[in-house]
Structure 1
Amino acid sequence: MTMREQAVWWLLGLIILIILLVLLSNVLLPFVLAAGIAYFTDPLADRLERRGLSRVLATVIVTAVAFIVATIALIILIPLLINQIQLAIDAAPELFNAAREFVETRVAPLFDQDGALGAALTKGLNQAQSQIKDISVGVLQGAWSVSLAGFQVVALMVVTPVVAFYLLLDWDNMIARIDDMLPRQHRDEIRWLAGEVDRVLAGFVRGQVTVCLILGGFYALALTLIQLPFGLLVGFFAGLISFIPFVGSIFGGALSVGIALFYFWNDPVWVVATAAIFAAGQAVEGNFLTPKLVGGSVGLHPVWLMFALSAFGALFGFTGLLIAVPAAAVIGVFLRFSIGKYKQGALYRGQRGDSGP
């Protein structure tokens, strides 16, 4: 089989795989989550095996620990976050009133003595306020619709750990079977690519998840300690989106400082403290967490990450958002490999005897 024929077959297989993923996107979520859990916990199971435990016992221990930790986290965090969301919905009209008062009394006079700017800003806020009740009702109706899908949620919570357990139990055997089916002519290159993919995923996804959790916990705890309204919700959200560099700190910082201006205008020390929390978080992330836990050799550009989130979200919905970051890392490995091959080929170097300039 020629190289062109092999390329055609590989491309055809990739197209069929993408079509199947799009068609089955509605049922992929528990299996994607289970595969991610198995992948992330496999090194721990391997370590327990090296200490003399059987694979079955190692899998049971890892699964039990993960289940206990997840249960404790859900019991503690979910009620708090739901309460914060409900408070945010209830307080939305009050926030708009505060924003309108802030614009009319403090912002507009600084820029426009005639009040034209203030009138325009106030009009916009009034229109937004007139819609806030409809938005709140829509959010509550959406939450009710989600609650009606309780069976699917229960199924997700049951299917995911079961599938993750069996994948973790058989992970090494599956890798061995896949390795045995590799085409012998390209086995070394495929193994090298697989090693690069694993290195990138281990260096970026595992490390970045840890960074996001640390930042989310820090922001939530610090904002709660200074008694910023909705500080727990804003802090966790800012931490969770920190896998896109600077976005989490900038968005979370802007939102938190905006809330602090409304509530702590007469006590600017707390406004400064709010800004200082995100400045400190960004400093710790850039100088310690990311270099230590993620490393600088992954090569994922922030623009590429944002594009991957948009593209995979459009193709696969919520499941796409979950796989966007690891998929971007994997695609980046293949692109760098392809560019390396291109630079070694005749198209880049030119054939001997060419009369070009």
Structure 2
Amino acid sequence: MINILFTGTAVVLLCFAAYWVRGRGGHRPTGTWAMAALLTSFALAFASYAPAVERAVESVVPHVARLLSNTFTLTAATSVLAFLFQLNLDRERARRQIRLRVLALVLSVAGMTAFFVAEQLTGRHPVLYACYVLIYISYLGYTAKDFLLQTWAQSKRSTRRSQRWGLRTTSVGCGFALVYAAYKLFALVSIGLGLGLVPDGARCSTPLTPFRCAFSVTAPAVAVLLITVGLTLPALLWPLSQLRRRRWERDSFTALEPLWREVTAAVPEVVLDPGNTGADARDLDFHLHRRVIEINDCVLALRRYRPTSVRDAAAAEVARRGTAGTPEGDAEVEAAVIAASVAAKHAGAASEGDEAPPATGTASRRGDLPAETAWLLLVADAYARQSAPANTGVAP
């Protein structure tokens, strides 16, 4: 079971690394190589956790699996910070910080290797092992704490929901890394004082058996998984969100067409490009934006044809049905007024009384394409459900 879990996770992480390296849309985003190094290091760390791999490498060098997994974990931690530095700092500062972290990584791995070799030559002396663990846990704990604080702070400032949740997931993963660091520190104290609280040499049969495996194996594994998912989630969801947005733009463009045809038939001069009123699949955002602008310009051009009497009658009907003050109710009132103004414009009869005021929330929606589109979709739906002559009282 553990072999399948760790080996399978390593394969998935390598696939994620390949996804980052290959680039998307003809370019590689900032921090691509740092992210690829992170995922590859995590993959190798997971592979080293697998009992089959552990037995294979330790048949050559006894107990070397520990050094390998710890080295890959520290490399991944350094890659995490490199990725963060490239996102949050200017290029020169990022390079300087990354160089310092890489230097610290090299020194830490060299120190761990020296103590590991000395430990093997002296029959696994507990003091040497304690020094090894001290180097490892100091670097890992500091990195995990630093990354936890920065990712959580960045998640509060992020505007994209996928990025916000991805950063929070990463922060939780850093929390598990700190649990692992605390366990290793506890083990270090036990070894240093000769308390024997953490048995050495026992292998884990499951992720939770014996109980110490929950801290020594499961906690770092969960930390790696959550950090990987958190950092990769925005990149994976971005194409899906773009696909969803394009579908929404295409559906909205189509749904607004009947209302657009009605109002532009009354005010044809507002159409920006009469010879090109279709939607190009490669530029749906532009065409939807133009359609929304043209509808709003028509409504503005028809304001002297907006009869207050029709607005009052529509508002009374909406209030009678109990939908007054709701977006749907406001859209019904606005649809009735637009229908009346279109009919009046075709008849050449401007409103003799006061002009009906703009719809509720018009000013607050100005410049916000999603909000303005959502509003016009409600108006278009209400407009389609009514007959202009019946609601306006103006002869067609």
- For normalisation by structure 2, the TM-score amounts to 0.26
- For normalisation by structure 1, the TM-score amounts to 0.28
Instruction: Give the number of the structure whose residues are more often helix, by fraction.
Output: 1
Higher RCO structure (Cα 8 Å, ≥6 apart): 1
